[in-house]
């Protein structure tokens, strides 16, 4: 398969990763891979209530310039996420 939609020389693609996270019970959505963490879709809040379908995963994770975000909370089985962007504070 191509480098975006399937396995690429034994490496996982972004789509493979998204599917794995959803299969593990986590909610994911595509973000810009420019470091801004901005959602690709304007209406990403729905993923706070339900996980993406495989069709949505294919649409969101097979394009260049997309990254992957994982939502915490009930939709992801109660996952809690701690994020630190400044190493000196940790």
Q: What is the pLDDT of residues 21-61, one digit of tens each?
A: 999 999 999 999 998 889 988 888 889 999 999 999 999 99
Average pLDDT value for residue range 59-77:
93
How much is the pTM?
Answer: 0.78
Provide the pLDDT for residue 8: 57
Residue-level pLDDT at 4 = 46
CA separation for the pair 84, 90 (Å, rounded)? 7
Among 5, 25, 24, 27, residue whose Cα is nearest residue 16: 5
Higher-scoring residue by pLDDT: 71, 36: 71
Amino acid 35: pLDDT: 84
């Amino acid at each position: 398969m191509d480098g975006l939609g399937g396995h690429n020389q034994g490496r996982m693609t972004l789509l493979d990763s998204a599917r794995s996270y959803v299969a593990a019970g986590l909610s994911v959505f595509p973000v810009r891979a420019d470091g801004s963490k901005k959602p690709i879709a304007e209406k990403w809040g729905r993923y706070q209530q339900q996980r993406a379908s495989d069709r949505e995963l294919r649409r969101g994770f097979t394009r260049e310039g997309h990254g992957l975000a994982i939502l915490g909370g009930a939709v992801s089985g109660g996952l809690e996420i701690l994020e630190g962007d400044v190493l000196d504070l940790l």
